[in-house]
């Protein structure tokens, strides 16, 4: 399906608002969107690391700072 959108005429705020509406619509029926198998594999590996005591964690503030530094 090809739905033409006037993206060049939309502001960034308009585009974000449109994405939020689409996301909200998708979230109404999350079971209709299958999760890839690799998601389950990663979650299982992370659970094992936590159980084994080998997991490491980073604070949200530190992660935000690292991301901000990367995109500068």
- pLDDT of 7-34, one tens digit each? 999 999 999 999 999 999 999 998 999 9
Count of C-beta atoms within a 10 Å radius of residue 4: 5
pLDDT digits (tens, 9 = 90+) for 33-62: 999 999 999 999 999 999 999 999 999 999
Tokens of 60: 């949200």
pTM for the whole thing? 0.50
What are the boundaries of each domain within the chain?
Answer: 9-70
Distance CA 59, CA 10 (A): 36
CB distance 46 to 55 below 8 Å: yes
| Closest CA relative to residue 47, chosen from 39, 37, 55 | 55
- Which pair of tokens denotes residue 27? 């979230």
Within its chain, how far is the Cα of 23 from the centroid?
Answer: 11
């Amino acid at each position: 399906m090809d739905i033409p959108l006037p993206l060049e005429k939309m502001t960034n705020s308009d585009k974000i608002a449109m994405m939020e509406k689409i996301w909200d619509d998708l979230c109404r029926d999350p079971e209709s969107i299958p999760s890839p198998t690799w998601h389950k594999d990663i979650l299982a590996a992370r659970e094992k690391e936590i159980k084994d005591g080998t997991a490491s964690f980073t604070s949200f503030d530190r992660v935000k700072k690292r991301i901000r530094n990367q995109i500068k």
